[in-house]
Amino acid sequence: MKIKIIKNSVVIISLLLLAGAKIQAQGMAQRPDRVEQLKKELSLTDKQVEKVKDIYAKSREEMMNAREENMGDRDAMRKAFRDNTDKTNKKVEKVLTLAQKKKFDVLKKQWRKQMEKRKQNMRQRNN
């Protein structure tokens, strides 16, 4: 009986790790698209585009480090990711003009809604 529980636990953990890796990869894939979206939506200059690319590249590195440091502690990882996102957004805002910041706030609200929708869809699939 204990062996069966252990085997099931290993399978579940493996599936969770694979799902996490897939989500991580999807998140990483979105960053270049995010820069292009910001370029288009906010009419970023070439100089701003380069700065935003650098910000997101550093953010990606920090996110990977946070993931490694907090592996196994879901709450700590979630907090680290949230903190990283907030810090990244603040850095991006420093590059923007006042009018661009207002548009960026609207985009962040849209992204938040999209994320909530994805969470709901995932919950529905898991139930």
Among residues 101, 63, 107, which one has the least CA distance to residue 85?
63
Alpha-carbon gap, residue 76 to 69, rounded angstroms: 9
Running DSSP on this structure, what letter comes out for residue 96? S
Structure confidence by residue, pLDDT tens digits, 61-114: 999 998 888 888 889 888 999 999 999 999 999 999 999 999 999 999 998 999
The model carries a pTM of 0.68
Q: Which residue has the tokens 């200059």?
A: 45
Tokens of 24: 């991580």
Structure confidence by residue, pLDDT tens digits, 10-43: 556 765 665 555 555 444 444 558 899 999 999 9
Q: Per-domain residue ranges for the chain? A: 2-126
Among residues 89, 11, 103, 101, which one has the least CA distance to residue 56?
89
Give start and end residues of each alpha helix (H) in 43-70.
Answer: 46-69
SS3 29: helix
Compute the half-sphere exposure of residue 17: CA atoms within 13 Å on the CB side of its CA.
Answer: 9
